[in-house]
Amino acid sequence: MPVITCIEDLHRIYKRRVPKMFYDYCESGSWTEQTFRENTSDFDQIRLRQRVAVNMENRSTASQMAGQDVSMPVALAPVGSTGMQHADGEIKAARAAEAFGVPYTLSTMSVCSIETVAAATSKPFWFQLYVMRDEEFAAALIQRAKDANCSALVLTLDLQIIGQRHKDLKNGLTTPPKLTLPTLIDMATHWRWGLEMLQTKNRQFGNIVGHVKGVDDISNFTKWTRNQYDPRLDWDRIRKIRAQWDGPLILKGILDVEDAKKAVEVGADGIVVSNHGGRQLDGALSTIRSLTPILDAVGDKTEVYLDSGIRKGQDVLKALAMGAKGTFIGRAYIYGLGAMGQTGVTTALEVIQKELDLSMAFCGRRQVTNLDRDILQIPKGFE
Ligand code: FNR
C-alpha cells in the first residue's frame, strides 16, 4: 500500500491505473486549457496569514450545505462517466461520501442509474440534471430523483453546448469506445481495470439507456445524447424546473454577477460558482477570481458554493474564508476513485479534511463556520 500524503499522490496512481482515453477525458480542459490551469494556479496567489499563541484545541470542520449537516463543507461534484474510471464508480463514490458525511452528487450522465445508487446507499444523495430538449424525459428524471429520495437537485447551466477538448478528439473518445488498435492496446495495458469492468453489470448510462424510446443500448445512446443538450435553455425553462422540484435547488455553472442575480430571482437555494472545471469556456476567469463580486451581489440571498481547481484543503480554506458557504470537488476525488476505488475516494476526503483542519488552525481559527478574509492576503484582481 503506497503512502498517500496529498491529492497529487492519488493522481499519479490514477494515471497509471486507468486507460489513457479515460484519464485524458478527466484531465483536460477545453481548447488551450488556460482556464483549467488558472483554476488551480489562482488559488496559490492568495496567501494565508499565520497566527501563533492562539488556542488551537477542539477544532471542527463541521458545517451545513443546503440545510444538511456535513462533516466538512466539501461535496462531491457530479462527474459524468464516473463508472468508467472504476467499475461501479458512482456507487463507490456515493458510499465513501456517505460514510464521511459529505454530499455526493450523481450526474445525469452517470453509468450507474439513480435507482442503482439509491439501492446501494442508505442516506440521500444529490442529483444533477442537465437541461434536455426532451422536457418529458427531464420531468421523468426529476420524478426518479424524488422517488430515490434525493435531497437536492443540482441543475447545471453551463453545458447547453459542449466545449472542445482536443485530447478527446485525438483519442477518438466515443461511447462506447471504438475498438481500434490504439484503444484495444490502451485497454489491454490496463488489464486490471478491464477485469473489474467485466465483472460488473453497470456498463451502460443507466439514467438514460432503457428509459428513452429507441435508446435501448449504448450504441444509440451517443447520438441521442448529442442532440439532447438544449442550446435554447433560458430562465423561463429554469423557472419551470424550479416548480417541479420542492427541495433545495442549486444552480451550477454561474460565473457572472448578472446570472447570479437571475438565479436568486428564479428561486435558487444555492448557486455553484463554477466553470465546469475549465472544460467549457476557455479564457473565462478562474472561479476563485470570480467569487467576490458574486458574493457581494447575492451572498446574503442564497448559499454560494465554489468549485473548479480545488486540489488541497488549503484551497477549500481560501474559498470559505473569501465567503463561500461550501465547495465541490471533481477531479480530486476522481483521482482517488481511479487509483483505489472507494478507499481512494475516502483517502481524498481525508487528505483534504486534514489539510483544511491544520491550515485553519495555523491561521488561528478553530471552526470552518467562523472564517473570514482576515486570515487571507488577497492580491489585486481577487478582491
Ligand atoms: C465534470 N463536470 C460535470 N458537471 C456536471 O454538472 N455534470 C457532469 O456530468 C459533469 N461531468 C464531468 C466530467 C469530468 C471528467 C469532469 C472533470 C468534470 C464538472 C464538475 O461537476 C465540476 O464542476 C468540476 O469537476 C470542478 O472542477 P475540478 O474540481 O475537477 O477542478
Rounded distance from Cα 127 to ligand 1 centre (Å): 13
For the chain, which ranges sit under pLDDT 70?
none
State the residue range of the domain holding 101. Answer: 7-377
Is residue 302 domain-resident?
Answer: yes
pLDDT at position 245 is 98
Is residue 210 domain-resident?
Answer: yes
Could you give the residue ranges of the DSSP H alpha helices within the chain?
A: 7-17, 20-26, 34-45, 82-85, 89-100, 114-120, 135-147, 166-171, 181-188, 191-199, 221-226, 235-244, 257-265, 287-298, 313-322, 331-362
Answer whether 330 contacts ligand 1 (Cβ < 6 A). yes
Number of the ligand 1 atom closest to the C-alpha atom of 40: 31
Is residue 261 domain-resident?
Answer: yes
Total structural domains within the chain? 1
Residue 329: give its domain's CATH number.
Answer: 3.20.20.70
Residue to mutate, 7, 14, 79, ligand 1, most ligand atoms under 8 Å from C-beta: 79
Is residue 1 domain-resident?
Answer: no
Answer whether 116 contacts ligand 1 (Cβ < 6 A). no
Taking the C-alpha atoms of residue 309 and residue 137, their distance in angstroms, rounded to an integer, is: 32
Is residue 284 domain-resident?
Answer: yes
Q: State the burial class of residue 16 (Cβ atoms within 10 Å of its Cβ: 0-12, 13-18, 19+).
A: exposed
Grid coordinates belonging to 321 = 474564508
Cα–Cα separations (whole angstroms), residue 359 to 54, 61, 265, 275: 13, 11, 37, 26
pLDDT at position 315 is 99
Contact by Cβ (8 Å): 40, 312: no
Taking the C-alpha atoms of residue 26 and residue 232, their distance in angstroms, rounded to an integer, is: 27
Is the pTM here over 0.95, yes or no? yes
Phi/psi at 106 (5° precision): -90, 130
Answer whether 282 contacts ligand 1 (Cβ < 6 A). no
- pLDDT tens per residue, range 152-168: 999 999 999 999 999 99
Which candidate, 87, 85, 83, places its Cα nearest to that of 18? 85
Taking the C-alpha atoms of residue 144 and residue 230, their distance in angstroms, rounded to an integer, is: 20
- pLDDT tens per residue, range 325-366: 999 999 999 999 999 999 999 999 999 999 999 999 999 999
As beta bridge partners, residue 74 has 327
Rounded distance from Cα 104 to ligand 1 centre (Å): 13
DSSP state of 255: -
Q: Residue 86 catalytic?
A: no
As beta bridge partners, residue 130 has 156
Is residue 383 domain-resident?
Answer: no
Task: Extract the annotated binding site.
Answer: 25, 78-80, 107, 128, 130, 156, 165, 252, 274, 276, 279, 307-311, 330-331
Question: Predicted ipTM?
Answer: 1.00
